[in-house]
Amino acid sequence: MSTPTDSSRRELPKIAWIGLGIMGSPMAENLIKAGYDVTGFTLEQDKLDRLAAAGGRAAGSVAEAVRDADVVITMVPASPQVEAIAYGPDGILENARSGALLIDMSSITPQTSVDLAARARDKGIRVLDAPVSGGEAGAIEAVLSIMVGGERADFEEAEPLFEALGKTIVLCGPHGSGQTVKAANQLIVAVNIQACAEAVVFLEKSGVDLRAALDVLNGGLAGSTVLTRKRDNFLRRDFKPGFRIDLHHKDMGIVTDAARSVGAALPVGAVVAQLVASLRAQGDGGLDHSALLRAVERLSGAQV
């Protein structure tokens, strides 16, 4: 990627980035690489130092970060954190300028996104909900899938920015639609990981060469992005978090509650939600969601 000139950098909107975790840090850095002027805020000083080392600017508060921004992007764990940084005298809505675009890329409830858009409208601030899928690797490689809810004009304005972060970028409908699609995504991913974990235990207990088996399975109809991304986690029992069980537990709560509200039955999803909750209760909430394998191993009599 070519280095942007000073003039091209000035033509791009100024970005405030709130939340520099496993996903947020590499995403913010990809915007810097694309030439955006990024000011960030998070609670951890080492993450602010990392942003500054990448060419961004560290702010001392949410209010300071958003004050001069054209676009405010939030990437925090859940609805309570979104509400904490958006509302109140020190929050985004009270300190961002009228006309700014707020893009929430967190995974939260659809209703929280709808409520945020309504309250922001009263302040003259436009909102998109734009959760992502792809995990830490997708964030680093800028190949995320971005599912967006909101007004088409705002989506089109934000599209060049999204293109610096992901490869599949789709406006899914009005406010809250992005979060609804993300909830469905998390349902599919959790069920897929659970199926892969069960297959791994079945294969190993049957004495099959696991590496060879996963290679051939991934070349056929059973293949998936989940299996591609998590294959080495399964083989090495490496559960360093790319996406934590704690967060997937939260997401499974979102999808089961949202499905109940619209009358959609999720029989398999409900079982997997309980398996995720069980793994978390056993102390594995900080591990990668591929650690669902540990739960299957325990049920199968293995000491893990």
Write down the pLDDT at residue 283.
97
Domain boundary (139, 173, 207) is at 173
Domain extent, residue 233, equals 181-299
Say yes or no: 156 and 255 in one domain: no
Q: Tens place of pLDDT for every residue, the chain, 304 residues?
A: 444 444 444 589 999 999 999 999 999 999 999 999 999 999 999 999 999 999 999 999 999 999 999 999 999 999 999 999 999 999 999 999 999 999 999 999 999 999 999 999 999 999 999 999 998 999 999 999 999 999 999 999 999 999 999 999 999 999 999 999 999 999 999 999 999 999 999 999 999 999 999 999 999 999 999 999 999 999 999 999 989 999 999 999 999 999 999 999 999 999 999 999 999 999 999 999 999 999 999 999 987 7
Residue 262 falls within a domain, yes or no?
A: yes
Q: Taking the alpha carbons of 138, 141, 147, 149 in that order, is the dihedral positive or negative?
A: positive
Residue 304 falls within a domain, yes or no?
A: no
Phi/psi at 35 (nearest 5 deg)? 105, 5
| Structural domains of the chain, count | 2
Among residues 299, 296, 290, which one has the least CA distance to residue 193? 290
Give the integer Cα–Cα distance in Å for 276 and 245: 7
- Catalytic residue among 47, 182, 230, 250, which? 182
Say yes or no: 154 and 29 in one domain: yes
Say yes or no: 158 and 20 in one domain: yes
Indicate which CATH number applies to the domain containing 108: 3.40.50.720
The C-alpha angle with vertex 36 and arms to 44 and 145, in degrees rounded to 5, equals 75
Say yes or no: 162 and 73 in one domain: yes
Say yes or no: 198 and 266 in one domain: yes
Say yes or no: 97 and 228 in one domain: no
Say yes or no: 164 and 220 in one domain: no
Write down the pLDDT at residue 303.
77
Asked if 205 is an active-site residue, the reply is: no
Write down the pLDDT at residue 10.
53
Q: Where are the beta strands (DSSP E) in 150-276?
A: 166-173
The DSSP 8-state label assigned to residue 88 in this structure reads S
Domain boundary (173, 194, 211) is at 173
Say yes or no: 163 and 225 in one domain: no
Residue 1 falls within a domain, yes or no?
A: no
